Amino acid sequence: MPERSRNDFLSELDAVLPFPDDRRSEIIEEIASHLDDAVGDGQSESSAQRRLGEPADLARDLARPEQSVWRVVAGVGAALRSGIGHWLYGYLLGSLLLLLGAIGAAALVQLMGALLGTGWSLLTADQGWNTMLVALAGTVGLYYAGRVIPNRVARASLHLERDVRPWAVGVTTMVALAIALLVVDAPQNWASVIALALAPGAVALGAYRPHLVPPGLRAYAAILVLALALPVMILVMSGSGTSMNVDVADGPHDRNLGQVGPWWPPSVDADGLPPIEGGGWSQMGNGPVLWSAAFEPGALAELHSLRLEAWHSDLATFAIDDRFMEPFAVAVPSRGDGTLAAAIDTESEPGVGAWQLVLTGVGPDDVRYVLVAGGGGNSTFTGSVWDWVTAVIGY
Amino acid sequence: MAKLDLLKGTLPLLVLSVIADEELYGYEIAQRIRDRSGDLFAPSEGSLYPTLHRLEGAGALSARWRASERGPRRRYYAITPAGQTLLADASEEWARVSAGVNRVARATNGA
């Protein structure tokens, strides 16, 4: 046993005893008077301490007779109550700090854009960035929950905190992981997926490093968050800035539809417009995009295997992105009385920001032709992290 | 009240025995056991205090703080009626066990 002063011995015992304050102080007083008696009787301090054993073992033996299954159930209840409360506190604190960080970063980028004349801006479609910010705030919440859960479980179940910590952290992390990966259903991008996947690790961080932020640094938390958030913001900014420099296309024929295939020759009338009207699309919530268009009788007589295709396109111009040789989603339209209609899912493909709908059909020469540009829009992959990962693997 | 399992340890019986006649505090109890056993038993205080608290929780002992003439106040333990019953039962069981053990040991030595 290492040499300790009596105060250290008693402090260590006090720290590990899983009893309420009044009971703990009674035990400490009793042990202190025992040590007084032993030393007064001629024993050395270290010998008297040695006969009492390690503080943790003594505390464990004192608590053991009072442990029960019901105490463990009480421990789980205490963990839930305090864990949820502290998660909420941390989440709100994290949201506030991130908000400050985002406002600061936006102001900085706008200022830099104005000074350098680049027109930089943080304006961007969501594309999962909000989910990432929420996940970061949730991570702060999990850190705060991790700080208190082992202690509350230990106190309520009358076990030593060091004994229950691995279990409490393990179970809490698994629950948080299941929620983050399987339950949270939201717009996703790679950053939100990483943030959600790593967030449960904050439980262990809080439990094993409860004083991660030194008190002196807490006053500068907002600056710290700004510094951390800035690279992400600049990344977003650079992405949207590039898009904004692309010239806006003029008319349906300039949307890079040549990437899809040749135009169906008879479909272009004397004015250069196809006989199928472009139609329109609508979407309710996160449901599929509902597209419909009217067509002139006989216009599709020579075509078969019609399909509505969704292609990656540029966020600003909706011109089809050269990098993609295939549509990311396809739907077979149904023919009505002079109308075509299709429902197409644009939110199950990771990485899609803007898209362009194109109606195609196979002509008599077995070539797939472009019949009409069906309109463009933007959306974000929406689902859980698990959905995102499985979609990427099956990409 | 459950009987003491003497095969697992005799410390509760020893504690109840030395405390049966008068109130004692922890250090005194350890000393008294050592003295009465002729230094044969010297219970570790690390086991003594958990045993005292367990017996108190079981209603066999009561405890109260008393100021000492010199030094800090001490926590004195006294046996309760339930503790008396437990002591009687435990002593009887111990007598049976030790007699049985002695018989077995003597038979082994005589063989």
Residue contact B72–A65, C-beta within 8 A: no
Contact B11, B38 (CB under 8 A): no
Residue contact A58–B50, C-beta within 8 A: yes
Best A33, A66, A158 member to test B by mutation, with max B CBs in 10 Å, is A33
Nearest to A34 among B27, B50, B53 (CB): B27
In chain A, % of residues over pLDDT 90 = 47
In total, the C-beta contacts within 8 angstroms joining chain A to chain B are 63
Chain A residues within an 8 Å CB radius of B50: 58, 61-62, 64-65
Distance CA A158, CA B56 (A): 17
Residue contact A33–B75, C-beta within 8 A: yes
- Interval A113-152: pLDDT, tens: 888 877 777 766 667 888 999 999 999 999 999 999 999 9
pTM score, whole prediction: 0.76
Residue contact A30–B27, C-beta within 8 A: no
Rounded average pLDDT over A95-99: 88
B27 touches A: beta carbon within 8 Å:
yes
Contact A368, A361 (CB under 8 A): yes
The tokens for A160 are 């030593």
Domain residue ranges in chain A: 6-66, 70-244, 252-393
Residue of A25, A19, A49, A38 lying closest to B25 (CA atoms) = A38
Give whole-number Cα distances, A312 to A54, A353, B20, in Å.
66, 7, 89
Residue contact B53–A65, C-beta within 8 A: yes
Distance CA A301, CA A267 (A): 11
pLDDT at A50: 93
Chain A residues within an 8 Å CB radius of B54: 65
The tokens for A43 are 């024993």
The answer to whether residue A245 scores a pLDDT higher than 60 is: no
Sequence letter at residue A54? E
Residue contact B72–A38, C-beta within 8 A: no
- Contacts for A357 with CB less than 8 Å, ≥ 6 apart: A281, A289, A291, A308, A309, A310, A311, A344, A373, A374, A375, A376
A37 touches B: beta carbon within 8 Å:
yes
- Interval B88-106: pLDDT, tens: 999 999 899 889 988 888 8
Give whole-number Cα distances, B87 to A124, A277, B25, B92, in Å.
80, 100, 18, 8
- Interval A378-387: pLDDT, tens: 888 889 999 9
Provide CATH code, domain B11-110: 1.10.10.10
What chain A residue is nearest to B58 in terms of C-alpha separation?
Answer: A65
Confidence of residue B111 (pLDDT cuts 50, 70, 90): low
- Interval B65-90: pLDDT, tens: 998 777 778 999 999 999 999 999 99
Residue of A128, A127, A133 lying closest to A99 (CA atoms) = A133
A10 touches B: beta carbon within 8 Å:
no
A249 touches B: beta carbon within 8 Å:
no
Residue contact A52–B75, C-beta within 8 A: no
Nearest to B46 among A30, A52, A66 (CB): A52
Confidence of residue A193 (pLDDT cuts 50, 70, 90): very high
- Contacts for A238 with CB less than 8 Å, ≥ 6 apart: none
In chain A, % of residues over pLDDT 70 = 85
- Interval A204-241: pLDDT, tens: 999 999 887 776 666 676 677 667 667 666 666 655 44
Residues in chain B: 111
Confidence of residue A273 (pLDDT cuts 50, 70, 90): low
Confidence of residue A78 (pLDDT cuts 50, 70, 90): very high
> Which is higher by pLDDT, A318 or A153?
A153
Chain A residues within an 8 Å CB radius of B47: 61
Domain A252-393 coded CATH 2.60.40: yes
Quick count: other Cβ atoms within 10 Å of Cβ B60? 26
A22 touches B: beta carbon within 8 Å:
no
- Interval B22-49: pLDDT, tens: 999 999 999 999 899 888 777 888 899 9
The answer to whether residue A335 scores a pLDDT higher than 60 is: yes
Residue contact B25–A38, C-beta within 8 A: no
Chain B residues within an 8 Å CB radius of A29: 72-73, 75
Residue contact A33–B45, C-beta within 8 A: no
- Interval A1-35: pLDDT, tens: 557 899 999 999 999 999 999 999 999 999 999 99
Distance CA A118, CA A79 (A): 52
- How many Å lie between the alpha carbon of A160 and the closest alpha carbon of chain B? 15
What chain A residue is nearest to B53 in terms of C-alpha separation?
Answer: A62
Question: To the nearest whole number, what is the mean pLDDT of chain A?
Answer: 84
Give whole-number Cα distances, A15 to A24, A64, A81, A226, in Å.
9, 17, 23, 37
Best B1, B31, B44, B45 member to test A by mutation, with max A CBs in 10 Å, is B45
Question: To the nearest whole number, what is the mean pLDDT of chain B?
Answer: 86
Confidence of residue A246 (pLDDT cuts 50, 70, 90): very low
The answer to whether residue A174 scores a pLDDT higher than 80 is: yes
A2 touches B: beta carbon within 8 Å:
no
Domain residue ranges in chain B: 11-110
Residue contact A33–B25, C-beta within 8 A: yes
A50 touches B: beta carbon within 8 Å:
no
A292: β partners? A280, A341
Confidence of residue B7 (pLDDT cuts 50, 70, 90): very low
What chain A residue is nearest to B52 in terms of C-alpha separation?
Answer: A62
A58 touches B: beta carbon within 8 Å:
yes
